[in-house]
Amino acid sequence: MLQQTQMATVLPYYRNFLRCFPSIEALAKAPLHRVLAAWAGLGYYTRAKNMHLAARIVMKKFGGRFPDDWESVLALPGIGRYTAGAVLSIAFGQRYAVVDGNVERVLARLLKIRANLKTSKIQKRLWTVAELLVPAEAPSKFNQGLMEFGALVCLPKNPQCGRCPLTAWCGARRHGIETEIPSPRQRQRTRDIQRLVAVIRDRNDRILLSQRRETTLMRNFWEFPSWEFKRGKPPTSIETRQSTCRLEGALEQIFTIPLKVRGAICTFRHHITFHRIHVQVFEVQLQNEASLRPSIPPGMRWIPKNSLNKFLFDSASLKILESLHDSAG
DNA sequence: AATCCGGGGGA
DNA sequence: TCCCCAGGATT
């Protein structure tokens, strides 16, 4: 859970997760959708999938007992060099190093490394140093202490050199360049994506939802039928008419029943990593009021409005749901 | 050895 | 908008 996610963000999820799945066995036996439900809102959902799979592997291959050797731990899905080191040192007291974002920064300042820390050359150096530093005695305390030191004292923006016990050994401090290290990382260029969302209702005020299956991305999550288009630049509000046509075209390809785009419900932007998704939500109605059993594509379901809360949604879909409540009064 | 990964929180 | 976060997998 803590991979690329701050401690304060993780804690409530962690507590709830352990309530839901108090043991490896409980986690392994649970269906994936229940694991994802406990993860919903935390992001990077492949972590949940990996942890679930890892629990099943531990049950099958290690009889439910978490392995305590480097190769076995590292081979588990979702566990890389950092997590393997953390588990082996903290849970099993073995002498392995950890280099997370905090340790990276602390060591880079101590060693006065001005280069990009993400290159494999520098990473290799940082890991080598961390492995030299970690003591055989209480590696758990050393590793956690080093990470905590980075989080509380050797801060990214305002390093607390005034109350740092290591200034005498700090190369960056000696040259007065502690705020210039680590060097700014190069950012991914954000990509604009246009997403057209159809809120389709039937005569009983049920709403059509589809579940993501084909994709590995956010699989099992439910969403409103939607179509995405890559953009060179963000769409403008003037393009609503164009979007309507585009959505109608997409609907025609999927549905055999006549549908009519009524109008826009809301528009908002949703950011995911380096994607900037311009979401346009449209109200869509069944044209043929007489069709009692409107045939819908596989993977889609009519959901009564009052049971929407039983389904797993990502953040963007939750925003749409909120707007529906708002517009419904 | 880069590059990508479809998250979220805080400033 | 920018920056960071107890990184991992893929190519």
pLDDT tens readout for residues A23-34: 999 999 999 989
Q: Looking at residue A214, what is its pLDDT?
A: 58
Instruction: Please name which of A134, A97, A133, A101 lies closest in space to residue A117, comparing C-alpha atoms.
Output: A101
Task: List all residues 6 or more positions away from A294 whose beta carbon is below 8 Å from its beta carbon.
Answer: A202, A257, A286, A288
Rounded percentage of chain A residues whose pLDDT exceeds 70: 95
Say yes or no to pLDDT of A237 above 80. no
Q: Looking at residue A215, what is its pLDDT?
A: 59
Task: For residue A221, name the pLDDT band (cuts at 50, 70, 90).
Answer: confident
Say which amino acid occupies A279. Answer: V
Mean pLDDT of chain A: 91
Dihedral sign for Cα atoms in the order A58, A64, A65, A66: positive
CA of A186 to C1' of B4 (A): 14
Query: Of all nucleotides in the shown strands, which has a C1' nearest the CA of A99?
Result: C6
Q: Looking at residue A185, what is its pLDDT?
A: 85
CA of A93 to C1' of B1 (A): 32
Task: For residue A100, name the pLDDT band (cuts at 50, 70, 90).
Answer: very high
Q: Looking at residue A329, what is its pLDDT?
A: 35
Query: Of all nucleotides in the shown strands, which has a C1' nearest the CA of A43?
Result: B7
Q: Looking at residue A233, what is its pLDDT?
A: 78
Residues A32 and A49: beta-carbon distance below 8 Å: yes
d(CA A55, CA A26) in angstroms, rounded, equals 9
| Most confident among A40-54, A252-266, A302-316 (mean pLDDT) | A40-54
Q: Looking at residue A289, what is its pLDDT?
A: 63
Q: Looking at residue A256, what is its pLDDT?
A: 85
Q: Which residues touch strand C (CB under 7 A)?
A: A 2-7, 44, 50, 77-84, 86, 100-102, 105, 144, 147-148, 150-151, 156-157, 182, 184-185, 187, 271, 276
- A121 sits within 7 Å of strand B by its CB: yes
Say yes or no to pLDDT of A168 above 50. yes
Beta strand pairing call for A275-286 and A259-272: antiparallel
Q: Looking at residue A165, what is its pLDDT?
A: 95
Higher pLDDT, A97 or A216: A97
- Phi then psi for residue A175, to 5 deg, are -100, 5
Query: Of all nucleotides in the shown strands, which has a C1' nearest the CA of A184?
Result: C3
Query: Of all nucleotides in the shown strands, which has a C1' nearest the CA of A2?
Result: C6
Report angle CA A64, A65, A69 to the nearest 5 degrees: 135
User: pTM surpassing 0.85?
Assistant: yes
- A213 sits within 7 Å of strand B by its CB: no
CA of A77 to C1' of C5 (A): 21
Nucleotides of C under 7 A from a protein CB: 1, 3-9
How large is the average pLDDT for residues A267-294?
83
Report angle CA A278, A280, A284 to the nearest 5 degrees: 160
CA of A106 to C1' of C8 (A): 22
* Sequence-distant contacts of A118-122: CB under 8 A, at least 24 apart: A118/A185
Q: Which of residues 243-282 of A touch strand B (CB under 7 A)?
A: 271-273, 275, 277
